[in-house]
Amino acid sequence: MSKTWNLGTRSLSLEQTPLVMGILNTTPDSFSDGGKHFDPQVAIDVALQMQADGAAIIDVGGESTRPYSDPVGVDEELQRVIPVLDGLRGQLSIPISIDTSKSQVARAAIDAGAEIINDVTGLEGDPEMAGVATATGVGVCVMHMQGTPQTMQDQPSYANVVEEIYDYLMQRYQTCRQLGIQADRICLDPGIGFGKTHEHNLTLLQNTKRFCQLPAPLLIGHSRKGFIGKVLGDKQADRTAGTLGVSLAVAAAGAHVVRVHDVKPTVDALKLFQASR
Protein backbone atom coordinates (compact mmCIF):
# COMPACT_ATOMS: atom_id res chain seq x y z
CA MET A 1 0.00 0.00 0.00
CA SER A 2 1.16 3.54 -0.79
CA LYS A 3 2.35 5.69 2.13
CA THR A 4 0.30 8.58 0.74
CA TRP A 5 -3.31 9.14 -0.33
CA ASN A 6 -3.16 10.91 -3.69
CA LEU A 7 -5.90 13.51 -4.19
CA GLY A 8 -4.78 14.67 -7.60
CA THR A 9 -3.76 18.20 -6.63
CA ARG A 10 -1.81 17.00 -3.56
CA SER A 11 -1.16 13.95 -1.41
CA LEU A 12 -1.87 13.25 2.24
CA SER A 13 0.88 11.46 4.13
CA LEU A 14 -0.18 8.28 5.93
CA GLU A 15 3.04 8.06 7.93
CA GLN A 16 1.47 9.58 11.06
CA THR A 17 -1.99 8.07 11.26
CA PRO A 18 -4.85 8.12 11.72
CA LEU A 19 -5.72 11.37 9.99
CA VAL A 20 -8.79 13.09 11.40
CA MET A 21 -11.65 13.79 8.98
CA GLY A 22 -14.10 16.33 10.40
CA ILE A 23 -17.79 15.77 9.66
CA LEU A 24 -19.68 18.83 8.38
CA ASN A 25 -23.33 18.01 7.68
CA THR A 26 -25.19 20.85 5.95
CA THR A 27 -28.48 19.01 6.45
CA PRO A 28 -31.54 19.59 8.65
CA ASP A 29 -31.94 15.90 9.51
CA SER A 30 -28.57 14.15 10.09
CA PHE A 31 -28.75 11.76 13.04
CA SER A 32 -26.43 13.62 15.43
CA ASP A 33 -26.03 17.21 14.26
CA GLY A 34 -28.92 17.79 11.86
CA GLY A 35 -29.65 21.50 11.45
CA LYS A 36 -26.61 22.78 13.37
CA HIS A 37 -24.71 23.73 10.21
CA PHE A 38 -27.67 24.31 7.86
CA ASP A 39 -26.79 28.01 7.55
CA PRO A 40 -23.85 28.25 5.10
CA GLN A 41 -21.96 30.84 7.15
CA VAL A 42 -22.23 28.71 10.28
CA ALA A 43 -20.92 25.73 8.31
CA ILE A 44 -18.02 27.78 6.95
CA ASP A 45 -17.08 28.97 10.44
CA VAL A 46 -17.25 25.42 11.81
CA ALA A 47 -15.03 24.11 8.98
CA LEU A 48 -12.41 26.77 9.70
CA GLN A 49 -12.52 25.90 13.40
CA MET A 50 -12.06 22.20 12.56
CA GLN A 51 -8.98 23.13 10.55
CA ALA A 52 -7.63 25.18 13.48
CA ASP A 53 -8.32 22.20 15.77
CA GLY A 54 -6.15 19.90 13.67
CA ALA A 55 -8.45 18.21 11.15
CA ALA A 56 -6.65 16.83 8.09
CA ILE A 57 -9.81 16.73 5.93
CA ILE A 58 -13.28 18.31 6.07
CA ASP A 59 -16.09 16.03 4.86
CA VAL A 60 -19.05 18.12 3.62
CA GLY A 61 -22.39 16.40 3.10
CA GLY A 62 -25.76 17.72 1.95
CA GLU A 63 -27.91 14.60 2.26
CA SER A 64 -28.54 12.64 5.45
CA THR A 65 -27.77 8.91 5.24
CA ARG A 66 -29.06 8.06 8.72
CA PRO A 67 -31.36 5.04 8.88
CA TYR A 68 -34.75 5.68 7.23
CA SER A 69 -33.76 9.17 6.06
CA ASP A 70 -35.54 10.64 3.05
CA PRO A 71 -33.42 11.12 -0.08
CA VAL A 72 -33.08 14.63 -1.54
CA GLY A 73 -32.80 15.74 -5.14
CA VAL A 74 -29.67 16.95 -6.90
CA ASP A 75 -30.70 20.60 -6.85
CA GLU A 76 -31.43 20.65 -3.13
CA GLU A 77 -28.18 18.88 -2.30
CA LEU A 78 -26.25 21.36 -4.43
CA GLN A 79 -28.00 24.30 -2.73
CA ARG A 80 -26.78 22.98 0.62
CA VAL A 81 -23.14 22.25 -0.19
CA ILE A 82 -21.96 24.58 -2.96
CA PRO A 83 -22.33 27.86 -0.98
CA VAL A 84 -20.22 26.29 1.77
CA LEU A 85 -17.50 25.17 -0.64
CA ASP A 86 -17.53 28.55 -2.37
CA GLY A 87 -17.21 30.28 1.01
CA LEU A 88 -14.26 28.11 2.00
CA ARG A 89 -12.34 28.72 -1.21
CA GLY A 90 -9.16 30.55 -0.37
CA GLN A 91 -9.73 30.22 3.39
CA LEU A 92 -9.21 26.48 3.92
CA SER A 93 -5.77 24.98 3.44
CA ILE A 94 -6.76 21.35 4.07
CA PRO A 95 -8.66 19.25 1.51
CA ILE A 96 -12.45 19.02 1.32
CA SER A 97 -14.23 15.72 0.80
CA ILE A 98 -17.73 15.73 -0.72
CA ASP A 99 -19.98 13.16 0.94
CA THR A 100 -22.38 12.28 -1.87
CA SER A 101 -23.63 9.40 -3.99
CA LYS A 102 -24.68 11.66 -6.90
CA SER A 103 -22.25 12.23 -9.75
CA GLN A 104 -23.68 15.68 -10.56
CA VAL A 105 -23.11 16.82 -6.99
CA ALA A 106 -19.63 15.33 -6.97
CA ARG A 107 -18.63 17.08 -10.19
CA ALA A 108 -20.01 20.45 -9.07
CA ALA A 109 -18.29 20.09 -5.70
CA ILE A 110 -14.97 19.27 -7.36
CA ASP A 111 -15.39 22.33 -9.58
CA ALA A 112 -15.89 24.29 -6.32
CA GLY A 113 -12.70 22.88 -4.80
CA ALA A 114 -13.44 19.44 -3.33
CA GLU A 115 -10.59 16.93 -3.69
CA ILE A 116 -12.19 13.68 -2.48
CA ILE A 117 -15.43 11.86 -3.34
CA ASN A 118 -16.78 10.02 -0.28
CA ASP A 119 -19.55 7.73 -1.57
CA VAL A 120 -21.57 5.57 0.83
CA THR A 121 -22.68 3.40 -2.11
CA GLY A 122 -19.12 2.43 -2.99
CA LEU A 123 -19.36 4.26 -6.35
CA GLU A 124 -22.21 1.92 -7.30
CA GLY A 125 -25.27 4.09 -6.64
CA ASP A 126 -24.80 6.35 -9.68
CA PRO A 127 -23.42 4.76 -12.86
CA GLU A 128 -21.67 8.03 -13.74
CA MET A 129 -19.78 8.38 -10.43
CA ALA A 130 -16.76 6.27 -11.33
CA GLY A 131 -16.39 8.26 -14.55
CA VAL A 132 -16.33 11.53 -12.60
CA ALA A 133 -13.68 10.10 -10.29
CA THR A 134 -11.56 8.91 -13.21
CA ALA A 135 -11.91 12.11 -15.22
CA THR A 136 -11.15 14.48 -12.36
CA GLY A 137 -8.35 12.48 -10.74
CA VAL A 138 -9.56 13.18 -7.20
CA GLY A 139 -9.26 10.83 -4.24
CA VAL A 140 -12.15 8.46 -3.59
CA CYS A 141 -13.49 6.77 -0.49
CA VAL A 142 -15.40 3.57 -1.24
CA MET A 143 -17.77 2.39 1.51
CA HIS A 144 -19.73 -0.81 2.14
CA MET A 145 -23.46 -0.56 2.82
CA GLN A 146 -25.97 -3.41 2.89
CA GLY A 147 -29.14 -2.04 1.29
CA THR A 148 -29.93 1.68 1.23
CA PRO A 149 -30.36 4.23 4.03
CA GLN A 150 -34.10 3.55 3.74
CA THR A 151 -33.72 -0.25 4.19
CA MET A 152 -30.28 -0.93 5.68
CA GLN A 153 -31.37 -1.33 9.29
CA ASP A 154 -34.44 -3.51 8.64
CA GLN A 155 -32.72 -6.88 9.14
CA PRO A 156 -28.96 -6.73 8.49
CA SER A 157 -27.67 -10.25 7.93
CA TYR A 158 -24.27 -11.81 7.17
CA ALA A 159 -22.85 -15.33 7.28
CA ASN A 160 -19.44 -13.86 8.17
CA VAL A 161 -19.59 -10.08 8.49
CA VAL A 162 -15.81 -9.52 8.46
CA GLU A 163 -14.96 -11.66 5.45
CA GLU A 164 -18.00 -10.63 3.41
CA ILE A 165 -17.20 -6.94 3.81
CA TYR A 166 -13.48 -7.55 3.29
CA ASP A 167 -14.28 -9.36 0.03
CA TYR A 168 -16.66 -6.60 -1.06
CA LEU A 169 -14.08 -3.89 -0.47
CA MET A 170 -11.41 -5.88 -2.29
CA GLN A 171 -13.75 -6.38 -5.24
CA ARG A 172 -14.66 -2.68 -5.35
CA TYR A 173 -10.96 -1.75 -5.16
CA GLN A 174 -10.22 -4.01 -8.13
CA THR A 175 -13.20 -2.63 -10.06
CA CYS A 176 -12.09 0.94 -9.43
CA ARG A 177 -8.65 0.05 -10.73
CA GLN A 178 -10.18 -1.51 -13.86
CA LEU A 179 -12.23 1.65 -14.40
CA GLY A 180 -9.03 3.72 -14.43
CA ILE A 181 -8.87 5.06 -10.87
CA GLN A 182 -5.25 4.96 -9.74
CA ALA A 183 -4.44 2.68 -6.80
CA ASP A 184 -3.06 5.46 -4.63
CA ARG A 185 -6.27 7.51 -4.98
CA ILE A 186 -8.50 4.90 -3.30
CA CYS A 187 -9.52 4.69 0.37
CA LEU A 188 -11.82 1.96 1.74
CA ASP A 189 -14.46 2.08 4.49
CA PRO A 190 -16.29 -0.94 6.03
CA GLY A 191 -19.32 1.26 6.72
CA ILE A 192 -19.88 1.12 10.47
CA GLY A 193 -23.62 1.50 11.07
CA PHE A 194 -24.64 1.08 7.43
CA GLY A 195 -26.63 -2.14 7.28
CA LYS A 196 -25.10 -3.63 10.44
CA THR A 197 -26.39 -4.54 13.88
CA HIS A 198 -24.62 -3.28 17.00
CA GLU A 199 -22.91 -6.67 17.21
CA HIS A 200 -21.78 -6.46 13.57
CA ASN A 201 -20.29 -3.00 14.22
CA LEU A 202 -18.31 -4.21 17.22
CA THR A 203 -17.08 -7.28 15.34
CA LEU A 204 -15.88 -5.12 12.47
CA LEU A 205 -14.06 -2.76 14.83
CA GLN A 206 -12.46 -5.70 16.65
CA ASN A 207 -11.14 -6.82 13.25
CA THR A 208 -9.68 -3.48 12.14
CA LYS A 209 -6.30 -5.16 11.62
CA ARG A 210 -7.88 -7.50 9.07
CA PHE A 211 -9.18 -4.55 7.05
CA CYS A 212 -5.74 -2.92 7.25
CA GLN A 213 -4.57 -5.83 5.07
CA LEU A 214 -6.54 -4.37 2.15
CA PRO A 215 -4.38 -2.67 -0.51
CA ALA A 216 -5.69 0.84 0.26
CA PRO A 217 -5.94 3.15 3.30
CA LEU A 218 -8.71 2.29 5.77
CA LEU A 219 -11.26 4.85 6.97
CA ILE A 220 -13.38 4.19 10.05
CA GLY A 221 -16.58 6.23 10.52
CA HIS A 222 -17.89 5.37 13.98
CA SER A 223 -18.58 8.78 15.45
CA ARG A 224 -21.55 9.04 17.85
CA LYS A 225 -23.25 5.98 16.37
CA GLY A 226 -25.90 3.91 18.09
CA PHE A 227 -23.68 0.98 19.09
CA ILE A 228 -21.83 3.35 21.46
CA GLY A 229 -25.02 4.03 23.39
CA LYS A 230 -25.73 0.30 23.38
CA VAL A 231 -22.32 -0.53 24.93
CA LEU A 232 -22.73 2.26 27.48
CA GLY A 233 -26.19 1.00 28.36
CA ASP A 234 -27.78 4.40 27.74
CA LYS A 235 -29.17 5.43 24.36
CA GLN A 236 -29.28 9.06 25.51
CA ALA A 237 -25.68 9.15 26.78
CA ASP A 238 -23.22 11.71 25.44
CA ARG A 239 -21.23 9.65 22.94
CA THR A 240 -18.12 11.84 22.72
CA ALA A 241 -16.02 9.79 25.15
CA GLY A 242 -17.23 6.55 23.61
CA THR A 243 -16.27 7.82 20.17
CA LEU A 244 -12.79 8.70 21.48
CA GLY A 245 -12.41 5.21 22.91
CA VAL A 246 -13.13 3.66 19.53
CA SER A 247 -10.82 6.14 17.77
CA LEU A 248 -7.92 5.09 19.97
CA ALA A 249 -8.69 1.39 19.52
CA VAL A 250 -8.72 1.61 15.72
CA ALA A 251 -5.63 3.84 15.79
CA ALA A 252 -3.80 1.11 17.72
CA ALA A 253 -4.97 -1.41 15.12
CA GLY A 254 -3.61 0.67 12.22
CA ALA A 255 -6.58 2.56 10.76
CA HIS A 256 -5.49 5.41 8.49
CA VAL A 257 -8.42 7.87 8.78
CA VAL A 258 -11.08 8.42 11.46
CA ARG A 259 -14.20 10.35 10.50
CA VAL A 260 -15.56 12.21 13.54
CA HIS A 261 -17.82 15.04 14.64
CA ASP A 262 -15.62 16.18 17.54
CA VAL A 263 -12.30 17.12 15.97
CA LYS A 264 -10.37 18.77 18.81
CA PRO A 265 -10.90 16.03 21.44
CA THR A 266 -9.95 13.43 18.82
CA VAL A 267 -6.81 15.27 17.70
CA ASP A 268 -5.75 15.84 21.31
CA ALA A 269 -6.40 12.21 22.29
CA LEU A 270 -4.43 10.92 19.30
CA LYS A 271 -1.49 13.22 20.10
CA LEU A 272 -1.27 11.76 23.60
CA PHE A 273 -1.84 8.25 22.28
CA GLN A 274 1.15 8.60 19.95
CA ALA A 275 3.30 10.29 22.59
CA SER A 276 2.71 7.57 25.17
CA ARG A 277 2.88 4.46 23.00
Q: What pLDDT is recorded for position 61? A: 94
CA distances from 76 to 26, 62, 73, 157 (A): 11, 8, 5, 33
Looking at CATH, the fold of the domain delimited by 17-275 is given as TIM Barrel (3.20.20)
Q: What is the pTM of this model?
A: 0.94
CB neighbours of residue 113 within 10 Å: 16
DSSP 70: P
- Whether the CB-CB separation of 209 and 256 falls below 8 Å is answered with no
Q: What pLDDT is recorded for position 213? A: 98
- Whether the CB-CB separation of 76 and 18 falls below 8 Å is answered with no
- One of 66, 185, 196, 225 is an active-site residue; which one? 225
Q: What pLDDT is recorded for position 185? A: 98
The residues spanned by each domain of the chain are 17-275
Count of alpha carbons within 13 Å of 218, Cβ hemisphere only?
27
| Whole-number Å distance between alpha carbons of 107 and 186 | 17
CA distances from 12 to 17, 19, 115, 153, 275 (A): 10, 9, 11, 34, 21
DSSP 121: T
Furthest-apart CA atoms within the chain: distance in Å: 48
Backbone angles phi, psi at 65, to 5 degrees: -120, 25
Q: Assess whether 66 carries a catalytic annotation.
A: no
Per-block mean pLDDT, blocks of 10 residues, the chain (277 long): 93 94 83 62 95 98 80 93 96 97 98 98 96 98 85 82 98 97 98 95 98 98 96 94 98 98 97 94
Q: What pLDDT is recorded for position 151? A: 67
- One of 3, 259, 271, 277 is an active-site residue; which one? 259
Q: Assess whether 230 carries a catalytic annotation.
A: no
CB neighbours of residue 41 within 10 Å: 11
CA 233 to chain centre: 26
